[in-house]
Amino acid sequence: MRPTRVRHIVLWLTVAAYMITYMDRVVISSAVPLIQKEFGFSLVTMGWILSSFRWGYALFQIPGGWMGDRFGPRRALTAIVTWWSVFTSLTALSWSANSMAISRFLFGMGEAGAFPIATRSLSRWMLPTERGYAQGITHAGSRLGAAMTPPLVVWLMTSFGWRTPFWVFGLVGLFWAALWYFYYRDTPEQHASVNKAELDLIHSSLGGPRSGRSQSVPWAKIFQNSRMWILSSMYFCYGYCLAVYLDWFPKYLNDHRGYNLKQMGFYAAFPLLAGTLGDLLGGWYSDRLAHRTGNLKMARRNVGVGGFLLAAASILPATLTQDPELCVMFSCLAVFGIEVTVGVSWAIPLDIGGDYAGSVSAVMNMFGNIGGAISPALLAYLVQGYGWDVPFLIASGLCLTAALLFTQIDATRKIFV
């Protein structure tokens, strides 16, 4: 009897969730010029509004990961997607800088649990040799969603006003939440469509059947582990650098490189499309390397180090060139390099975290998003004081730092043994 492929449907539902997370968070990036025009917000004020989402996102990573480990991904992910979709739409009702910042903070609170809980949702379903690919393709989905968003948002804004995209994307999230609750189950044993052959395949790779929930998360053991701090520091650098491109690149193209609104929407999509390819390639190549060599440590480490080095090298000519199109081309290489590391980074919590992969990934992602929260506001001050080049040069240095940190990460050394 051939195994069913329910785990792959679960994976594609997760990919769709990742797409929605990034579509919802980059809507505001493309709307920045029109929001500033209507409300008269300064660059610094807009920086704090963008940063408010990321502080909510960073601070609620651990509660979000705990929800997935404690209550199971089916209920937890349904609840948080519903929450953040409501606040995505409510952003359109903002009447001041404070009201918009509060809406974005509450939106960030909801999205905080998305990646940790989604990682936990795959931990009982995906085989070890599928994990790098699974994490690569889910994050590729998020970047594809982000790449599709700027042109779509510009069209919706120019046709119906800047508030319309927030309502549209909120409704998409609510539809997904209903579909997830209907189809997903916390373990393969609970899913009526999984046959014995697929269960045997999963059990032979992951061990026998287990319950869908973990009763107590050993936070002390997680935080006392030195490898957790190295992983988190690396992801801090990643989060800071990615936020530069997600939050400010459209404005950078419009303000510094001279592109009009429609050109901005068009060219801002290219680095994110390159990032999508990086996500797919990095996770796939790491799994392939691990399968061929049997050396998981080397397979994860080489891809991570290589991606960050490529990004560090590409940001420099992207920043220093006078040619706007050459800037976009090298920015594509930079985001490609940054994103090559993502599938590997998120496979490592699965490798070392076991049943607590949601909580381990939550800690890693919390630090990544503290970097991402610092980035938007700090960039606004740096641009105001020193111009647009300095923030990108700092990002290049942080990519180099991340590459050095990745040389110390060993995916074969589990936290819980």
Looking at the domain assignment, is residue 411 inside a domain? no
- Of 360, 415, 416, 7, residue with least CA distance to 203: 7
pLDDT of residue 395: 93
DSSP state of 96: S
Looking at the domain assignment, is residue 193 inside a domain? yes
- Of 235, 337, 340, residue with least CA distance to 286: 340
d(CA 109, CA 103): 10
Looking at the domain assignment, is residue 214 inside a domain? no
- Of 14, 323, 328, residue with least CA distance to 147: 328
Q: Domain range holding 99?
A: 6-203+220-406
Question: Which spans in 4-71 are helix H?
Answer: 6-39, 43-59, 61-71
Sequence-distant (6+) residues with CB within 8 A of 288 are none
d(CA 161, CA 163): 6
Residue 365: CATH number of its domain:
1.20.1250.20
pLDDT of residue 335: 93
Q: Spell out the per-residue pLDDT of the chain, length 417, in tens.
A: 777 777 778 888 888 888 888 788 777 877 887 888 888 888 888 888 888 888 888 888 778 777 777 788 888 889 989 998 998 888 888 888 889 899 889 998 888 878 778 877 777 777 766 766 776 777 777 777 777 777 788 788 888 888 888 898 889 899 999 999 998 887 778 787 777 777 777 777 666 555 545 556 677 788 878 888 989 999 999 999 988 887 778 888 887 787 777 777 777 778 888 888 887 788 778 877 877 887 777 878 888 899 999 999 999 999 998 888 898 899 999 999 999 998 788 778 877 776 677 678 778 888 998 898 888 888 888 888 888 889 899 999 999 999 999 998 877 777 755
Structure tokens at 138: 């889910």
pLDDT of residue 210: 54
- Of 266, 395, 282, residue with least CA distance to 337: 282
Looking at the domain assignment, is residue 347 inside a domain? yes
Helix 342-353 and helix 261-293, axial crossing angle in degrees, nearest 10: 40
Q: What share of the chain is helix, strand, coil (3-state, %, to 5)?
A: 85, 0, 15
Any idea which residue has 């119906």 for tokens? 160
The total number of residues shown for the chain amounts to: 417
Per-residue buried b or exposed e for 265-299, using 16+ beta carbons within 10 Å of the residue's own CB: bbbbbbbbbbbbbbbbbbbbbbbebbeeeeebebb
Domain count, the chain: 1
Looking at the domain assignment, is residue 98 inside a domain? yes
pLDDT of residue 78: 92
One-letter amino acid identity for 372? Answer: G
- Of 210, 217, 188, residue with least CA distance to 362: 217
d(CA 160, CA 381): 32
Looking at the domain assignment, is residue 414 inside a domain? no
pLDDT of residue 32: 80
Looking at the domain assignment, is residue 215 inside a domain? no
Distances (CA, A) of 53 to 102, 107, 242, 361: 8, 7, 14, 19
Looking at the domain assignment, is residue 415 inside a domain? no
Distances (CA, A) of 292 to 110, 129, 240, 287: 39, 11, 33, 9
pLDDT of residue 215: 55
